[in-house]
């Protein structure tokens, strides 16, 4: 094996989302002489960023004070909020919107488009940004500290041999590595384990967010209107809710966020979202319209009690990688940007991870999470108890003398034996897409069929035998892209992994009841190519 080529920087940032870009911009604003590099696994900046998204603008005001004069391409001021409780055939509009969901002064954006808009501003300050570079593994110094990242090799065939296009990945070495990979980061998962960063915290928890962007017939959209809902098609014991955001040019962004702590092994998050689109308050809006883009991603929802230690020798965690999303608000962008800017101020002063964890925990970022720490865990007792608990926590400002525990999502599935499936009063679907594979088309996901499978199942015999009997192979249902399929052929029953379908949501890495699936980065540039999600 030849010696790898390498590049050296003061700081390397993994991930060009809002946290990573805000960090890079702020660091160069404070100390322009530092060399800063941002690497991003997507083919272009923003191509794999997906969020609702309604953002609080204060961090942007601080980071880029003139941004309102030249805003991102999709940026609609919030004008009205609605909150609904849905039943199968109707629902009730809440007389008052919960405080956390009031959006006066906020903006509806495409987070992917916003990141693509931020990147040139970072580059203008001297930040070097490299899309299409997937950080395959950490690079370690001789003393065991993180010394940067190793970019994955390109041109490797499915069987591990080198194709004519083979190019060895380089090492990007740095004094400090900033992990801004988003929810369930591939490198972060390894480093949390290596340095035991979660020894004093609860396990991290997640939801799956599924989203579509629609073009409606002329005159239907009301730009700035924001609608959230609870209830149907979710059963009372399953956490989840919807969002519907009206944009300009007769477009709407819509989706559902569903907790991956659900218990029913037969539950299908993708199907639940498609059912919600057929609710009487939603379907008439969409009929006659067309899907422009679609995708899915994990949403980090463990909150205050699941925050791991955010520093280690040579590296720090920021944004969703650390787990900073405010669940009741369904917002993480402002938290991601705040944490990135705070980290930049810390590293500008010290150029060392030491002290970062304490600084983050003493900041308003963490205080915001502390106040709402009990709201999401309260829904484990069902919808109505969850709402009552949320009301109490909101009323008291999170001053309860207790902190509810968070458990790992993969432990929550009930086995088929003895499981009582909730009644799902689903309707006949007529709106597109017809199925998950049709939905994958709108994610514009691309993987070279002849590259190593990036979804690694440590023991597929468990899938064929134990999982079939105990859980009925839930991977066939929880994946929103039809990646996992149990097939029968002349060799018998086996697991088939359709890795080319993958939209990088990482639900399988989180929800598999045996915790034997590892999502790793595929070849750089592979994966979804979202448009304005």
Selecting among 373, 508, 521, 526, the annotated active-site residue is 508
Whether 115 is catalytic: no
In this structure, the number of other CB atoms found within 10 A of the CB of residue 157 comes to 14
Q: Are 442 and 289 in contact (CB under 8 A)?
A: no
Q: Which among 229, 242, 301, 333 is annotated as catalytic? A: 333
- Residue 507: name the closest of 273, 231, 228 by CA: 273
| Residues 175/8, Cβ–Cβ less than 8 Å | no
CB contact at 8 A, 415 and 471? yes
Q: In this structure, what token pair is assigned to residue 245?
A: 């955001």
With 0-12 / 13-18 / 19 or more C-beta atoms within 10 angstroms meaning exposed / middle / buried, residue 485 is: middle
Which residues fall within 8 angstroms of residue 264, CB to CB, at 6 or more apart? Answer: 235, 237, 238, 413, 414, 419, 421, 422
Which one of the listed residues 306, 479, 521, 526 is annotated catalytic? Answer: 479
Return the structure tokens found at 203: 């396990």
Which has the closest alpha carbon to 35: 6, 61, 8? Answer: 8
What is the rounded CA–CA span in Å between residue 87 and residue 90?
5
Query: Of the residues 475, 502, 507, 526, which is catalytic?
Result: 502
Residues 57/104, Cβ–Cβ less than 8 Å: no
Candidates 184, 225, 297, 477; catalytic one? 297
Q: Are 30 and 196 in contact (CB under 8 A)?
A: no
Asked about 51 being catalytic, the answer comes back as yes
User: Helices then strands (H, E): number in the chain?
Assistant: 17, 24
Residue 233 belongs to what H/E stretch? none
Q: For this structure, is 502 an active site residue?
A: yes
- Given 505, 507, 521, 526, the catalytic residue: 505
Check if 310 is active-site: no
Residue 5: CB atoms within 10 A of its CB come to 10
Question: Cα–chain-centroid distance for residue 47?
Answer: 13
3-state secondary structure of 306: helix
The structure tokens 């603008």 sit at 57
| Rounded distance between C-alpha atoms, residue 459 and residue 516, angstroms | 7
**Which H/E stretch holds residue 196?**
none
Could you give the angle at the alpha carbon of 138 between the alpha carbons of 134 and 142, nearest 5°? Answer: 145
167: tokens are 């190019």
The answer for residues whose C-beta is within 8 angstroms of residue 287's C-beta and 6 or more apart is 431
Give the whole-angstrom CA distance, residue 501 versus residue 192.
28
Catalytic, out of 26, 37, 51, 110: 51
To the query of whether residue 297 is one of the catalytic residues in this protein, the response is yes
507 flagged as catalytic: no
Tell me how far apart the alpha carbons of residues 529 and 51 are, in angstroms, rounded to a whole number.
Answer: 14
Sign of the alpha-carbon dihedral angle for 356, 358, 359, 364 = positive
Catalytic, 37? Answer: no
Residue 200, burial from CB neighbour count under 10 angstroms (0-12, 13-18, 19+)? exposed
Block residue for tokens 């009063």? 425
* Count of positions (residues) in the chain: 533
Residues designated catalytic: 51, 297, 333, 479, 502, 505, 508
């Amino acid at each position: 094996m030849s010696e790898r080529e390498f590049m050296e920087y003061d700081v390397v940032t993994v991930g060009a989302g809002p946290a990573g870009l805000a960090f890079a911009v702020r660091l160069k604003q404070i100390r322009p002489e530092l060399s800063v590099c941002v690497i991003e696994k997507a083919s272009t900046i923003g191509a794999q960023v997906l969020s609702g998204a309604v953002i609080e603008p204060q961090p942007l005001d601080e980071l880029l004070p003139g941004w309102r004069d030249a805003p991102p391409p999709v940026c609609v001021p919030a004008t009205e909020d609605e909150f609904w409780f849905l039943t199968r055939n109707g629902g009730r509009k809440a007389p008052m919107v919960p405080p956390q969901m009031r959006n006066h002064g906020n903006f509806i954006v495409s987070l992917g488009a916003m990141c693509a808009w931020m990147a040139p501003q970072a580059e203008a300050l001297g930040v070097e940004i490299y899309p299409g570079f997937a950080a395959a593994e950490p690079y370690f110094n001789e003393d065991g500290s993180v010394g940067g990242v190793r970019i994955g090799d390109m041109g490797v065939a499915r069987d591990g041999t080198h194709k004519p296009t083979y190019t060895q990945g380089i090492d990007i070495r740095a004094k400090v590595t900033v992990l801004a990979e988003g929810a369930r980061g591939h490198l972060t998962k390894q480093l949390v384990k290596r340095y035991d960063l979660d020894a004093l915290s609860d396990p991290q928890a997640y939801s799956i967010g599924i989203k579509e962007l629609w073009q409606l017939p002329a005159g239907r959209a009301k730009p700035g209107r924001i609608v959230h809902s609870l209830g149907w098609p979710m059963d009372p014991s399953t956490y989840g809710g919807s969002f519907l955001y009206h944009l300009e040019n007769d477009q709407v962004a819509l989706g559902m966020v569903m907790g991956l702590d659900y218990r029913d092994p037969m539950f299908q998050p993708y199907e639940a979202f498609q059912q919600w689109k057929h609710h009487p308050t939603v379907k008439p809006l969409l009929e006659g319209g067309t899907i422009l883009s679609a995708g899915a991603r994990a949403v980090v929802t463990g909150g205050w009690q699941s925050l791991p230690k955010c520093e280690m020798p040579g590296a720090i965690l920021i944004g969703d990688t650390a787990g900073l999303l405010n669940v009741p608000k369904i917002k993480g962008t402002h938290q991601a940007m705040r944490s990135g800017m705070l980290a930049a101020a810390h590293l500008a002063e010290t150029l060392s991870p030491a002290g970062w964890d304490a600084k983050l925990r003493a900041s308003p970022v963490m205080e915001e999470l502390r106040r709402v720490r009990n709201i999401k865990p309260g829904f484990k007792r069902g919808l109505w108890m969850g709402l009552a608990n949320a009301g109490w926590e909101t009323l008291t400002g999170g001053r309860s003398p207790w902190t509810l525990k968070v458990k790992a999502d993969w432990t929550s599935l009930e086995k088929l034996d003895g499981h009582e499936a909730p009644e799902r009063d689903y309707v006949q679907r007529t709106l597109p897409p017809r199925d998950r594979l049709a939905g994958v088309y709108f994610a514009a996901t691309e993987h070279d069929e002849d590259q190593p499978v990036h979804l690694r199942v440590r023991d597929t015999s468990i899938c064929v035998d134990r999982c079939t009997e105990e859980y009925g192979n839930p991977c066939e249902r929880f994946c929103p892209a039809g990646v996992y399929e149990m097939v029968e052929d002349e060799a018998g029953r086996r697991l088939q992994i359709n890795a080319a379908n993958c939209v990088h949501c990482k639900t399988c890495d989180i929800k598999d009841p045996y915790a034997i699936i590892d999502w790793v980065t595929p070849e750089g540039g592979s994966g979804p190519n979202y448009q304005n999600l």
